[in-house]
């Protein structure tokens, strides 16, 4: 999928919609840990993963940018460390100049005021003034994959970020997942409009019928009931 199309479709979705789509498609829901948040509230990003594993020097990020395509998102893996930052204003400016859609940092950033002014979306675990005070050996495949929380991601993955957090999807089949997310969004919007119009969600979802059915069959789950009535609040 072209990046412009990816951006256009995600502009009307949330990471929550995409997570619901993964559940319905029986695709692993690969969410970054909740502490990884946007530097600027309201920031959003969407693009192909550009992975880089940091070992103490900025050169790994510059090398990653050598093969970047416009719309990519730099996923900087610093092992979740909280004793040093690994990106700052210069990396952000270089990424922005290369046409990247943003940066996801499994670690800390610095130069917060400058990053806000630059305007490139940055998601990280927070900030600290110090840069790295080490230089470790670069592992094999440092530009092939990055780890964020429990997930290993690479060029075959897409990354999305918004105020709910960061989510990774496989690029293969992304169109189908986006279509499911759009369907979920539309169903939930209709349900929300009906609540505002005076029809409680319990009535929409025939909740009284579910309770009666559960009395007859204690094994009946709410999710099974929702599938029967076409609800979309759970899967």
Binding-site annotation: residue ranges for Mg(2+): 111
Q: Which residues are annotated as a binding site?
A: 88-91, 110-111
- Close Cβ partners of 170 (under 8 Å, ≥ 6 residues apart): 27, 156, 157, 158
For residues 98 and 232, give the distance between their C-alpha atoms in angstroms, rounded to a whole number: 40
Q: Which residues are annotated as a binding site for substrate?
A: 88-91, 110
Residues pairing with 160 in the sheet: 46, 167
- Both tokens of 45, joined, read 């990003």
Closest CA to 15 of 36, 2, 31: 31
**92: enclosing H helix or E strand:** helix 89-97
Q: Quick check: helix, strand or coil at residue 79?
A: coil
**68: enclosing H helix or E strand:** none
- Close Cβ partners of 42 (under 8 Å, ≥ 6 residues apart): 163
- Integer distance in angstroms from the first to the last C-alpha of the chain? 27
**Are β-strands 85-87 and 108-109 bridged in parallel, bridged antiparallel, or unpaired?**
parallel
């Amino acid at each position: 999928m072209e990046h412009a199309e990816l951006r256009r479709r995600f502009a009307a979705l949330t990471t929550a919609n995409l997570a619901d789509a993964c559940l319905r498609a029986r695709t692993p829901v690969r969410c970054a840990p909740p502490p990884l948040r946007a530097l600027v509230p309201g920031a959003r990003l969407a693009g192909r993963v550009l992975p880089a594993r940091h070992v103490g020097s900025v050169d790994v990020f510059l090398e990653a940018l050598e093969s970047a395509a416009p719309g990519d998102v730099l996923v900087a893996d610093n092992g979740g460390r909280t004793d040093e930052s690994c990106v700052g204003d210069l990396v952000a400016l270089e990424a922005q100049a290369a046409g990247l859609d943003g940066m996801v940092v499994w670690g800390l950033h610095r130069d917060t005021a400058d990053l806000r002014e630059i305007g490139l979306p940055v998601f990280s675990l927070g900030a600290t003034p110090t840069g790295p005070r080490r230089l470790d050996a670069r592992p094999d495949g440092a530009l092939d994959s990055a780890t964020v929380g429990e997930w290993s991601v690479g060029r075959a993955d897409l990354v999305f970020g918004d105020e709910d957090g960061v989510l990774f999807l496989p690029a293969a089949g992304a169109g189908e997942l986006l279509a499911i997310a759009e369907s979920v969004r539309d169903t939930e919007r209709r349900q929300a409009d009906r609540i505002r119009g005076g029809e409680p969600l319990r009535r929409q979802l025939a909740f009284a019928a579910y309770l009666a059915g559960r009395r007859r069959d204690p094994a009946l789950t709410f999710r099974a009931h929702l599938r029967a009535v076409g609800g979309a609040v759970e899967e």
